[in-house]
Amino acid sequence: MTRPLVAFLLSFLVTGLGQLYNGQLKKAVILFLLLLLIPFLFGAARFTTNFSGYTAMLAIMLGIWLYGISDAIIQARRRKEYAKKKYNRWYVYLFIGIVITAATWFYEKAPISGMQHFIIVSPSQLPTMQLGDRVLADIHAYREKQPDYGQIVVFNQPGEEVWCFRVAGLPGDTIQVIDDILVVNGVISESRHIRNVQIEGVPVQEYEEKMVSGHKHRIYSNQKAAGLPSSSSDKIVVPDNCYYLLGDNRGNALDSRYIGPVSADNILGQVLFSIWGRSYDRVNVDFRNR
C-alpha cells in the first residue's frame, strides 16, 4: 500500500491521523482541536440556534476535514522517505483513533456546544413533526428562562427514552382537556378546522389550535391508538416546578393526560428546527413558529 493511500485512509477515518502518519504531530493536534473548538465557539455565541448558523458550522468543519485529507496526501507524496518517529506505529494510530472517536462521542452527548440531535421515532407530534425528522434541541434554552406555552421540549421520561411534547400548562395553571380541546384556567383554546385526513387508514381531523398565549399550531384530533383511554382528562392544577405537556397528535400521545405533569428537572431543552428528514421539505423546519 502506497504512503499517499495510507495517509488518505487515516485522514478519512480520523482527522489528524494522516498528519501524524507523516510526522506532523503539531498539525495533527491543531486540526483535531479545531474540530472540537469550532462547535463550542458556535454554541457559546448561540449561532447554532438558527439553521444558517448551524450549516455554517458544518461547512467549516467539513472544510477542515477535507483539508486534512488533501494535506495528508500531498505531504505523503513529498515525503517519500523520512525517519519514522516513535509514534509511527499501527497500534499508536489505533489508540489515538479510539481516543479521538470517544472524545467526539462524549462531546456530542455532553453536549458541550449546548445543542443536541434527536430523531423523531413516534407519531405523537404529528402533524408538526414527522417520523424520521432529525431535529436539533437547545440544551441551554432554560438556563436563564422557563419553558413557555407552545414551546416543544425534549425531556427524560423515567425508564424510557427521551420524549418530546408541547408545553400546554405552566406551574399553577388549572388544566383540563375535553375531547382533545385544551382548557387553561377556564379559558378554552380556540380551534379552527383545517381538513380531514387519513393516517395509516385512520380518519383524523386536523385543526389549528390557538393557545391562551396566542401561539398557533396544528393538531390532529380523534386518532385513537390502541390501549389509550379517552382523549379527555380531569381538571388538574399543575404543581410547582412542573409543566403540563401535550402531544399535537392528541389521539395518539402518551402525554401529561396519562403520565401527569413533568418536572422541570427532567426537561432537557427546547426543540428548535429540523436538520433533515425523510423528504426534502423536512429540511429547516423551524418548530418555534409551529
pLDDT tens-place string over residues 133-155: 999 999 999 998 999 999 999 99
- 142 and 280 assigned to the same domain: yes
- 145 and 257 assigned to the same domain: yes
- pLDDT value of residue 108: 64
C-alpha count within 13 angstroms, C-beta hemisphere, residue 34: 18
- pLDDT value of residue 226: 46
- Which tens digits make up the pLDDT trace of 176-215? 999 888 999 999 999 999 999 888 778 889 999 999 899 9
- 186 and 282 assigned to the same domain: yes
**Is residue 131 over pLDDT 90?**
yes
Decide which of 94, 109, 124 is a domain's last residue.
109
Average pLDDT, integer, range 247-258: 92
Q: Could you tell me the three cell numbers for 128?
A: 408538526
What is the residue type of 169?
G
Which among 289, 286, 290 is positioned nearest to 135, based on CA atoms? Answer: 286
- pLDDT value of residue 97: 78
- Which tens digits make up the pLDDT trace of 42-80? 888 889 999 999 999 999 999 999 999 999 999 988 876
- pLDDT value of residue 113: 74
- 89 and 173 assigned to the same domain: no
Domains contained in the chain, number: 2
- 145 and 38 assigned to the same domain: no
- 169 and 281 assigned to the same domain: yes
Query: How far is the CA of 69 from the CAs of 6, 35, 65, in angstroms?
Result: 11, 14, 6
What is d(CA 146, CA 162) in angstroms, rounded to the nearest whole number?
Answer: 19
Which among 264, 161, 149 is positioned nearest to 209, based on CA atoms? Answer: 149
Decide which of 109, 144, 168 is a domain's last residue.
109
- 152 and 246 assigned to the same domain: yes
Read out DSSP for 186-219? TEEPEEEEEEEEEETTEEEEEEEEE-TTS-EEEE
- 127 and 105 assigned to the same domain: no
Average pLDDT, integer, range 259-285: 96
- Domain ranges, residue 89: 3-109
Average pLDDT, integer, range 224-242: 77
**Is residue 227 over pLDDT 70?**
no
What is d(CA 51, CA 289) in angstroms, rounded to the nearest whole number?
Answer: 14
- 268 and 124 assigned to the same domain: yes
**Is 10:21 a contact under the CB 8 Å cutoff?**
yes
Average pLDDT of every residue of the chain = 88
State the DSSP code for 273: E
- 16 and 71 assigned to the same domain: yes
CA 52-56-58 angle, to 5 degrees, is 120
Decide which of 109, 130, 151 is a domain's last residue.
109
- pLDDT value of residue 6: 85
- pLDDT value of residue 55: 94
- 63 and 177 assigned to the same domain: no
- 222 and 262 assigned to the same domain: yes
- pLDDT value of residue 172: 98
CATH number of the domain where residue 119 is located: 2.10.109.10
Average pLDDT, integer, range 251-268: 94
